[in-house]
């Protein structure tokens, strides 16, 4: 099991855009692992990691909490129902699509890919 305290401490040293980028990357990894049904036991860890990042971002930022609350609700639902979802290919395909969409949205929120942040 990951050492959540070390992960949290490391995450808190990042700038807000970097934190959002890390969350986006975690969601992208979630998509990838959801698609690999043979490794379904990794998905709950990625869900927990994403939820930790969301909680820390929400505590320490002025970002639109409505969107982040929606993402948090979605992730919590997946975490609670993962055992029943795991063997349903249509549900896992849907999770992969939704995780990918959220990853892109969060990355856009971060501003890391804008020309201004790339030149800074």
Query: Would residue 63 be called left, alpha or beta, if left means φ above 0 and alpha means ψ between -120 and 50 degrees?
Result: beta
Q: Which two tokens stand for residue 83?
A: 């055992």
Percentage of the chain with pLDDT > 90?
67
pLDDT of residue 119: 52
Report the distance separating Cα 61 and Cα 94, nearest Å.
30
Report the distance separating Cα 107 and Cα 39, nearest Å.
25
CB under 8 Å to 56, separation ≥6 — which residues?
8, 11, 12, 19
Q: How confident is the model at residue 60 (pLDDT cuts 50, 70, 90)?
A: confident
Note whether 91 and 97 are within 8 A (CB): no
Mean pLDDT of the chain: 89
Say yes or no to pLDDT of 8 above 80.
Answer: yes
Say yes or no to pLDDT of 10 above 80.
Answer: yes
pLDDT of residue 62: 72
Say yes or no to pLDDT of 116 above 80.
Answer: no
pLDDT of residue 118: 52
pLDDT of residue 78: 94
Say yes or no to pLDDT of 63 above 90.
Answer: no
Say yes or no to pLDDT of 28 above 80.
Answer: yes
Q: What pTM, to 2 d.p., does this model score?
A: 0.89
């Amino acid at each position: 099991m990951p050492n959540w305290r070390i992960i949290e401490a490391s995450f808190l040293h990042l700038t807000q855009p970097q934190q959002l980028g890390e969350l986006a990357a975690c969601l992208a990894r979630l998509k990838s692992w959801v698609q690999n049904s043979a490794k379904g036991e990794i998905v709950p860890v990625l869900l927990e990691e994403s939820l930790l990042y969301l909680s820390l971002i929400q505590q320490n930022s002025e970002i639109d909490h409505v969107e982040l609350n929606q993402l948090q609700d979605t992730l919590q639902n997946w975490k609670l129902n993962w055992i029943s979802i795991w063997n349903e290919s249509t549900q896992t395909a849907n999770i992969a699509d939704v995780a990918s969409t959220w990853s892109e949205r969060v990355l856009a929120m971060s501003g890391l890919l804008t020309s201004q942040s790339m030149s800074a």
